[in-house]
Chains A and B, each alone.
Chain A
Amino acid sequence: MVSQAPVDPVADRARAQRARLQAARAAAARVTDPEVPVLGIDDLGILHDVAIDEAGTVTVTILPTYSGCPAMGAIALGIEAELARDGFPEARVKLTNTPAWSTERMSEAAREKLRACGISPPERASGKRALFSPSPDVVCPRCGSPDTERVSEFGSTACKAHWRCRACREPFDHFKCI
């Protein structure tokens, strides 16, 4: 007779649930911002929570960014597609405004990735600048010079302002700080 390890169905189920939750989280984290494809939604601080209920249904909660950002719909569809591919066809995506998203939720890695693809990352301390105080120190993402100037506070997407570098003469996007 072969001795068997004691079977604990409750612990087994909990382990399986944890593994599925991890898999679901990994699938959701693969989704990137359609406007800035180098950035994952986890880097951006958009992916807020991934939960799994008793029946195994996954709910992904995301934080909308700029009020009019048309990427949120694409991101929600992307999450559903990635989860379906990894075996969660019934996953739901929920948007919540609590907590409010801010550029301060972006990771350091996200800032580095932005710089690497030619977008100057948002400065810290969102929205604390006085109305007509001097422009924040924005460093050229290409040559690193701090000698830059703002062309327009509004740029190619809701999240970007339009700047140019006076040293290397290149125009660049600056991620708006909210």
Chain B
Amino acid sequence: MSFASCDPRAAWLMRLGDTTLVLGHRMTEWLSRAPTLEEDIALANLGLDLIGQTRLFYTRACELEGGARDETDLAYRRAEPDYRNPLLVEQPNGNFADTMARHLIFAGFATPLYQRLAASCDAETAGIATRSARETTYHLRHAGEWMIRLGDGTDESHERAQAALDDLWPYVPELFEADDLDRAVAASGFGVDPSTLRDDFDAAVDDVLARARLAKPAEPRGQRGGKAGRHSEHLGHILAELQYLQRAYPDARW
């Protein structure tokens, strides 16, 4: 069993940070391209929350690890296999329904995760999670309202929203599969076992899908690997853009 960091608490927080960084970066790709001005601002704010959470998770991870690395090292100086985000968050933005379906799934997972992490035995982590849970509650409402509007809208919007869910559902199981690292941090009272979050996720998502007249896709076997560092081709493209400056001008500061 090898973790990205020798401290399991740090490795687990890095995984949360990788997840929010990659999704936050995806959100910034919408800048200037959203359907309306208000939505452009909303998507930028979703990304801002996620990147803010990333900085907090990374910084705490580095402190727990002993302080040899900092948030900049983690974000800009690691390669794809070092990133441990689930595959869902690296999936391309697609059309607006794809992005909202992805965000509904993410926020439906992250909100109960953060709510439970607010009881972490590490007070700093608990404090970060407390605030982050309130932020992702906004995300869940925003993505949920859009899915309802799209699903219960025109034939075209309904079709696209349903297709988005069907395409993304194979990435759902990975979110809730506990591995050795999840179990280790849950047992110590530091982290949360994601397999315990499925009921909360289903309750929130089922409510949205019912109002949206969208069908919940059948549970497929699923695509997995991101949490173990095995990624789809998309992550490399994201990192190429995200890390360009540090790779081209190592140690650049501004």
Listed in ascending order, the chain A residues whose CB lies under 8 Å from chain B are 64-69, 96-102, 126-127, 131-132, 151-156, 158, 162, 176, 178
Mark B residues whose CB is within 8 Å of A. 38-39, 41-42, 44-46, 48-53, 55-56, 60, 118, 123-128, 130-135, 137-138, 140-142, 144-145, 204, 207, 211
Taking the closest CB of chain B, its distance from the CB of A146, in whole angstroms, is 21
In the complex, residue of chain B having the shortest beta-carbon distance to the beta carbon of A158: B48
In the bound complex, what is the Cα–Cα distance between A97 and B125 (angstroms)? 8
User: Residue A98 contacts which of B55, B126, B140, B211 (CB distance < 8 angstroms)?
Assistant: B126
CB-based contact B124/A178 at 8 Å: no
List 9 A-B pairs, minimum CB-CB distance, nearest first: A68-B52, A67-B52, A97-B127, A68-B48, A100-B130, A154-B42, A154-B45, A178-B134, A152-B38
A98 neighbours in B (Cβ, 8 Å): 123-124, 126-127
Nearest CB on B from A135, distance (A): 10
A96 contacts B124, C-beta separation under 8 Å: yes
Q: Could you say which of A101, A126, A153 has the most chain B C-beta atoms within 10 Å of its C-beta?
A: A153
Q: How far is the CB of B210 from chain A (nearest CB, A)?
A: 11
A and B contact pairs by CB, cutoff 8 A, 7 listed: A66-B135, A68-B51, A97-B60, A132-B145, A152-B39, A154-B42, A178-B135
Interface of B is mostly: helix
Which residues of chain B come closer than 8 Å to A97, judged between CB atoms? 56, 60, 123-125, 127-128, 131
Closest-CB distance, A150 to chain B (whole angstroms): 10
Contact of A153 among B124, B125, B142 (CB under 8 A): B142
Q: How far is the CB of A52 from chain B (nearest CB, A)?
A: 24
Task: Tell me which residues across on chain A come within 8 A of B52, comparing CB atoms.
Answer: 66-69, 158
Contact between chains at A102 and B134 (CB < 8 Å): yes
Q: Determine the chain B residues whose CB is within 8 A of the CB of A100 once the complex forms.
A: 118, 126-128, 130-131
Whether A127 and B42, one on each chain, are in contact in the complex, defined by CB atoms closer than 8 angstroms, is no
- A66-B131, A68-B51, A97-B131 are known; give 6 further A-B pairs, CB within 8 A: A64-B56, A67-B131, A97-B127, A102-B130, A131-B207, A153-B141
Whether A127 touches B134, Cβ cut-off 8 Å, given contacts A97-B127, A155-B41, A158-B48, is yes
Residues of A with C-beta under 8 A to B41: 152, 154-156, 162
Tell me the complex Cα distance, A99–B128, Å: 9
Residues of A within 8 A of B46 (CB): 154
Contact A96 B127 (CB under 8 A): yes
Which residues in B have their C-beta under 8 angstroms from that of A151? 38
Contact A158 B45 (CB under 8 A): yes
B75 to chain A, nearest CB (A): 14
